[in-house]
Structure 1
Amino acid sequence: VDHNSLKEKGLLKGKNKFVKILGEGEIDIPLIVKVNAISRAAKEKIEKAGGKIEIVKV
């Protein structure tokens, strides 16, 4: 999951270049997430599901 895939799905509008993932909800599939920022809760949930996080600069 990255900026381009979020934009293609219509989850980003306008000229948003900064993406921060928050820890609301649940996840049970391993994702590779490339974002600008992530909350501690979101990081823990993604890693617990077997996923990985990559922080990218704008």
Structure 2
Amino acid sequence: MPPKKKHSKRRQRNKNANAGIKAPSIAQCKQCNAYIQGHRACSECGYYNGRQVTSVEQSE
């Protein structure tokens, strides 16, 4: 069914403005307090959800 009235440019652009890129969620690691991306394993210590899932080599 076709639209009954034309939507203005402003109304179209306001609708499309909500589809923009969202910033990634940032969380803090519970083991080492490093800032990490949400739902990802920590790159500093290798922990995720209280368990070590990857081994990280210590560089000195």
TM-score (norm 1): 0.25
Larger radius of gyration: 2
> Whose RCO is larger (CA < 8 A, sep 6+)?
1
Question: Which structure features the higher share of helix residues?
Answer: 1
TM-score (norm 2): 0.24
Question: Which structure features the higher share of strand residues?
Answer: 1
